[in-house]
Structure 1
Amino acid sequence: MLKARETVQSLPTYHPPLGGREGLRLDFNENTVGCSPRVAEKLREISRDALARYPERGAVEATVAEFLGRNVDEVLLTNGVDEGIHLLCETYLEPGDEVLIVVPTFAMYEIYARATGAKVISIPAGEDFVFPTDAVLSAISPRTRLIAIANPNNPTGTAVSRADLLTIAEAAPHAALLVDEAYFEFHDKTMVGDIAQVPNLFIARTFSKAYGLAGLRIGILAGEAGQMTMVRRVSSPYNVNAAALACLPEALADSEYVSQYVRESVTNRRRLEEFFAAEGIPFWPSRANFVLARFDELRVPFVKGMRERGILVRDRNSDYGCAGCVRVTAGTESQMDLLFEAMKDVLRDLRQGQVR
């Protein structure tokens, strides 16, 4: 009888709530108004012949490299950040190697690492989810081959300083340091300028959040040119589809569209934090496009009540250290007005015992 590898059988499963996502989507940190109109127009222009050909990513990688201020041999387009994580695991991990992650964080770091037979060492974040730099440094060993850090982190929204990340990279020259900048646009701090001087540093970016291209599945993995040569060996030459390659230059060119959305999202992130403070709901200040808040015993009926009002928020109760927590994406001003009205109604009913 055919059986999957023991490593695969023991993997944790990632179950994002993808079914029935109708309504105002404030659960996945997506762009809440959609992609640039220039991207939509480009999609309409894609010909039948273009879709019949295998995609060629080289020219678009050159465009992206210029956008990042890097050389083209330092940049690889990927099928979202997920593939970038997967490629690093396949390039650098052997069974028995060690991978360091700080929890809570993005689930796919652990899943892709453990799939190789590597041992994942989870380091708890500090009080209020502060990044535990000293604990990470203490956990580095000769077996450490990958350190994965989301900056800003998901689901907490907390950030790590460049100085601390450089210290970690220097302390583990034998390990790949992945800095996942999926929420870079809302944080506006990056380490992409350090990759030439720090040969074990890799930066991941996505176009699923600020750019509104989650459905096209396209991201970036950047690193020192020599290391990227090795990563490319395990990458498919056709990993990014033709529609995504056609649309990405348009998305990059329409910088004002993205900038305007980011400005509005950041402003409304602050409004969301102010709302939670006024309602007496504990939350963690965020550097991303969402806020994590603790609802404790109100969590389940709160999520249910919001869905009944046509607004989706994300239950993060199962994440390490996030018992009773819900994550809410910050959208546009009008969307936040709807959110605040609905949250006031739900919280009032819950506090009066009218919702179970």
Structure 2
Amino acid sequence: MSKKIQSYTAAKQEGILLNANESSENLDDDIIAEIQEAMPTIAFNRYPSETEHELEAAYAKAKGIDADQVMAGNGSDQMLGFLIGRYLGKGKTLYTYSLDFSMFDYYASTYEADVFKYEINEDGSFDIDDFIQTGKQRPVDLVVFSNPNNPTGHVLKVDEVKKIVEGFAPIPVIVDEAYMEFSSHSMLHEVENFENLFVTRTLSKAYQLAACRLGFLVTSKKKIPELRSSFVPYALNSVSRKIGTIVLNHAERFEGKIAETKAERDQMYDAIKDFQSFRFYPSAANFIYGRCDHKPELLALFEQAGIVIRNYDSPAFRLSIGSSAENQMVLHVLEEYERRFGK
């Protein structure tokens, strides 16, 4: 009997959308104009080139790594699914956290693999030595986790991640760094030092390109040719490739936007961390994770305000950091809830 595939629920697309950790702003007008000007240069009647890697080179330049370490795909989700399919199958086991990105479960279930979850604390923290020891006792065939963690926002430092990668070698370890632009503990510059390390990244969050579904797999140079040979052909269309390249050519401009998001995040956390009716946790991403005891009432308040947040099947919820005006609206809702339920 085959395993049940774990479904993934897409984000709602109506109202003030603070549920999918997208950017609250579109690309700047001049970048959009540059994209529009580039469209006539695309041969729409031809399949995408499998030998030209302009997008990968642009990403590598933006991140200060080697283009030979980079593969591009249809969102970091595709890169995660590709690696999970490569290393897992029926009878094999994926090791991850009890609180983490649900797509890990989805992809593992499509390959009929088992998923073994390590119980982490509500704030995303855990004992790294125990995590390694527990995983090696199983044993497991692939380790994957997000850093910063989705949904808690907790981040592991480089030395902590290195300890995990070393502790499981030669078992492959995937670090999903979808939100790492909002932190400072990336493993991108460590991939040549570890045979079993893979890092996935995206342009959907910090680079305002969720619509284009652009993601990257970064690993050691010697593994890339073999990975390319087994990757699905024409995975990424020519239009998205061109758009991504143009955006990355303006990578320095996004640093200011990232800094603004981090400042808004920290201001929001400082304003709500001492509320008595919630439990909020520090975040290194572009969202804040919280819990409360009267969540139906909280969701009703957000619905009345026209704000969509991420709801979980537990007391937990997640708030994307939006514009300053949107964040003020969120704060008003949280303050109203606090007036009703705070001690």
What is the TM-score when the length of structure 2 is the normalising length?
A: 0.91
**Structure 1 counterpart SS, 2:318:** strand
CA–CA distance in structure 2, aligned partners of residues 84 and 132 of structure 1? 28
Q: 1:143 to 1:203 in 2, by over 3 A?
A: same
Aligned counterpart for 1:334 among listed residues 303, 325, 330: 325
Aligned to 2:57: 62
Aligned to 1:73: 68
CA–CA distance in structure 2, aligned partners of residues 227 and 117 of structure 1? 25
Aligned to 1:16: 10
The answer for unaligned runs of 5 or more in structure 2 is none
CA–CA distance in structure 2, aligned partners of residues 95 and 143 of structure 1? 15
State whether residues 201 and 216 of structure 2, in contact with CA within 8 Å, keep that contact through their aligned partners in structure 1.
yes
Give the aligned CA root-mean-square deviation in angstroms: 2.1
Instruction: Give the deviation of 1:231 after TM superposition.
Output: 2.2
CA–CA distance in structure 2, aligned partners of residues 314 and 132 of structure 1? 27
1:175 aligns with 2:171: yes
Letter in 1 for 2:56: E
Aligned to 2:44: 51
Aligned to 2:33: 41
Instruction: Give the deviation of 1:49 after TM superposition.
Output: 5.0
Letter in 1 for 2:199: I
CA–CA distance in structure 1, aligned partners of residues 167 and 292 of structure 2? 39
Letter in 2 for 1:41: A
Question: What is the CA deviation profile of residues 320-350 of structure 1, one whole-angstrom value per residue up to 9, with x for unaligned ones?
Answer: xxx31111111222222232234334554x5
Instruction: Give the deviation of 1:143 after TM superposition.
Output: 4.6
Letter in 1 for 2:9: H
CA–CA distance in structure 2, aligned partners of residues 189 and 160 of structure 1? 7
Instruction: Give the deviation of 1:121 after TM superposition.
Output: 0.7
CA–CA distance in structure 2, aligned partners of residues 127 and 309 of structure 1? 28
Q: 1:28 to 1:53 in 2, by over 3 A?
A: same
**Structure 2 counterpart SS, 1:85:** helix
Aligned to 1:30: 22
Aligned to 1:286: 283
Letter in 2 for 1:201: L
Letter in 1 for 2:48: P
Aligned to 1:270: 266
CA–CA distance in structure 2, aligned partners of residues 141 and 235 of structure 1? 32
CA–CA distance in structure 1, aligned partners of residues 338 and 122 of structure 2? 27
**Structure 2 counterpart SS, 1:52:** coil
Aligned to 2:223: 227
Question: What is the CA deviation profile of residues 3-51 of structure 1, one whole-angstrom value per residue up to 9, with x for unaligned ones?
Answer: xx713xx122111343xx2222111110011224344223322128533
* Counterparts of residues 98-177 of structure 1 (less than 5 Å): 98-126=93-121, 128-138=123-133, 139-140=135-136, 143-177=139-173
Q: 1:262 to 1:67 in 2, by over 3 A?
A: closer
The share of aligned pairs that are identical, in percent, is: 26
**Structure 1 counterpart SS, 2:273:** helix
CA–CA distance in structure 1, aligned partners of residues 252 and 198 of structure 2? 27
CA–CA distance in structure 2, aligned partners of residues 256 and 222 of structure 1? 20
CA–CA distance in structure 1, aligned partners of residues 286 and 332 of structure 2? 20
CA–CA distance in structure 2, aligned partners of residues 166 and 49 of structure 1? 42
State whether residues 87 and 231 of structure 1, in contact with CA within 8 Å, keep that contact through their aligned partners in structure 2.
no
Q: 1:336 to 1:229 in 2, by over 3 A?
A: same
